[in-house]
Amino acid sequence: MNLLTKTNGILARIGSVVQSPVLLAIRLYWGWQFFVDGSGKFEHLDNVTKYFASLNIPMPRLNVMMAAGTQMACGLLLAAGLLSRFASIPLIGVMCVAYLTAESDSLHTIFSDPDKFVTRDPFLFLYAAVLVFVFGPGKLSLDALIFKAKKD
């Protein structure tokens, strides 16, 4: 076994060991941030409704309440690691709508000026939700307990 193969094996084992704690940190931090952001929309419902209206979003008050409720409920599910992949789908949807409406300029420059895209508020929210969807919540989650019990 050459040095490169041996080093790759060591790095893969280290990655496996830290995968679940990293996914836990992502879920806890970003799940809570989704919840806080959704709560803020409810706290400032009139102002956010006016903002949504300025973006020509139909039924702005209803859409604010739906987005806020989704962020709060799914954010808590994400943080707990409960139905994580299911919860990440509506969160991804909310962030895609944010890019299509409030951040459409940065969306249109995703390839010509990627810095403009990745520095906008929805990016890290979207990124965290996509990570959980793709990699799952990790072993340190309620999903791991529930779905492991279902396998046995």
Residue 102 has pLDDT above 90, yes or no: yes
- Look at residue 3 and tell me if it is in a domain: no
Token representation of residue 20: 């679940």
Considering its fold, how many domains does the chain have in total?
A: 1
- Look at residue 146 and tell me if it is in a domain: yes
**Structure confidence by residue, pLDDT tens digits, 44-61:** 999 999 999 999 999 999
Of the pLDDT bands very low, low, confident and very high (cuts 50, 70, 90), residue 148 is confident
Q: 21, 140 in Cβ contact below 8 A?
A: yes
3-state secondary structure of 107: helix
**Strand boundaries in the chain, DSSP class E:** none
- Cα–Cα dist 25/30, whole Å: 8
Taking alpha carbons only, the member of 93, 88, 81, 89 closest to residue 27 is 81
- Look at residue 99 and tell me if it is in a domain: yes
The pTM for the full model equals: 0.92
Domain membership of residue 72 as a residue range: 18-151
Q: 63, 57 in Cβ contact below 8 A?
A: yes
- Cα–Cα dist 4/21, whole Å: 26
Q: How far apart are the first and last CA of the chain?
A: 37
